[in-house]
């Protein structure tokens, strides 16, 4: 919500200016919601990464060409391919 007041002069905000302020306020609200959603997505991805990494079963992801693009620690140990591990997330809450 945006509240602007000017007690010194009346009718300072013309209808056109009010429309611009309403547009800016709605865009700001959309940006804040997008930032919140993006943060939620990052947190969910980190939780999923922790579940995959803590699994004792080897898990890997490959592309359409058959090339491994990501793998958990268990797969890396089982397949003797330590170079296949991508970015890691600290599962204690720090990423």
Question: Tens-digit pLDDT profile for the chain (95 aa)?
Answer: 666 676 777 777 788 888 998 999 999 999 999 999 999 999 998 888 888 888 888 888 889 998 888 888 888 888 876 655 555 556 665 44
Provide the whole-model pTM.
Answer: 0.58
With H, G, I as helix, E, B as strand and everything else as coil, classify residue 79.
helix
Looking at residue 95, its pLDDT comes to: 45
Distance from C-alpha of 27 to C-alpha of 39, rounded to nearest angstrom: 18
Looking at residue 33, its pLDDT comes to: 97
Residue 57, token pair as written in the block: 């079963």
């Amino acid at each position: 919500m945006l509240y602007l007041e000017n007690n010194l002069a009346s009718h300072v905000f013309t209808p056109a200016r009010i429309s611009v302020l309403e547009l800016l306020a709605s865009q700001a609200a959309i940006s804040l919601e997008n930032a919140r959603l993006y943060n939620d997505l990052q947190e969910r991805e980190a939780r999923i990464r922790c579940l995959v990494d803590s699994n004792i079963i080897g898990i890997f992801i490959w592309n359409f060409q058959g090339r491994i693009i990501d793998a958990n620690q268990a797969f890396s140990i089982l397949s003797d391919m330590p170079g296949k591990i991508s970015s890691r997330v600290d599962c204690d809450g720090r990423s």
